[in-house]
Amino acid sequence: MTAVPHPVSRLRERRERAARAWNVHRGVVLAPAGLPVPIVGTDLFHDFHAHAEHYYLSGLAHPGAVLAFDPAEGWLLFTPQISIEEQVWTNASEPLESQKERSGVDRVYEISELRSWLERHRGDAVAVVGNHDLLHNPAGYGIESWDALELDVDEELSEHCSNVLSESRRAKDDAEIQAMRAAADASVAGHFLGIRHVRPGMTERQLQIEIEAEFFRNGSPRTAYGSIVGGGPNGAVLHFAPSSRHFADGEIILVDAGAEIDGYASDVSRTFPAGRSFTPHQADMYDLVLATQQRAIDNARPGVEYKDLHLRAALDIATGLRDLGILRGDPEALVDSDAHALFFPHGLGHMLGLATHDAGGCLAGREPSDRFGLKYLRADLPLQPGYVLTIEPGIYFIRALLTDPERREKYRDAVNWERVDSMLDFGGIRIEDDVLITEDGAELLSGALPRDRAGIEELRREGLES
Positions in the binding site for Mn ion (CB under 5 A) = 267, 390
- Beta bridge partners, 203, equal 246
**Least distance from C-beta 428 to Mn ion, angstroms?**
14
Backbone φ, ψ for residue 463 (5° rounding): -65, -45
Which residue is at the shortest CB distance from Mn ion? Answer: 267
Least separation in angstroms between CB 432 and Mn ion: 5
Give 53 or 267: the residue with its C-beta nearer to Mn ion: 267
Can you say whether the dihedral through the CA atoms of 350, 352, 356, 357 is positive or negative?
A: negative
CA-nearest of 227, 209, 219, 172 to 387 is 172
CB of 446 to Mn ion, least distance (A): 11
- Contact between residue 268 and residue 446 where contact means Cβ atoms under 8 Å apart: yes
Alpha-helical runs (H) found in 4-83: 8-22, 52-58
Q: Which residues have a Cβ under 8 Å from the Cβ of 416 and sit 6 or more positions away?
A: 325, 326, 327, 328
Query: What residues does 77 pair with on adjacent strands?
Result: 67, 108
- Please identify, using beta-carbon distances, which residue of 355 and 424 lies nearer to Mn ion: 355
Q: How far is the CB of 146 from Mn ion (least distance, A)?
A: 37
- SS3 assignment, position 465: helix
**Among 415, 436, 411, CA closest to 424:** 415
Instruction: Indicate the residue among 267 and 358 with the shorter CB distance to Mn ion.
Output: 267
Q: Give whichever of 206 and 266 is closer to Mn ion, judged by the CB atom.
A: 266
Rounded least distance, CB 305 to Mn ion, Å: 19
> At 259, which helix (H) or strand (E)?
strand 259-261
> Closer CB to Mn ion, residue 262 or residue 267?
267
C-alpha angle 446/4/43, rounded to 5°? 100
- Minimal distance in Å, beta carbon 429 to Mn ion? 14
Closer residue to Mn ion in complex, CB, 166/390: 390
Minimum CB distance to Mn ion smaller for 204 or for 267: 267
Kindly write down the DSSP assignment for every residue of 68-113, as one continuous string. EEETTTEEEEEE----HHHHTTSPPPPPHHHHHHHH--SEEEEGGG
Cβ closest to Mn ion, residue 251 vs residue 267: 267
State the nearest-atom distance from the C-beta of 309 to Mn ion, in Å: 14
Least CB distance to Mn ion at residue 354 (A) = 15
Nearest to 339 by CA among 420, 265, 241: 420
Distances in whole angstroms, Cα of residue 179 to Cα of each of 176, 186, 341, 439: 5, 11, 34, 20
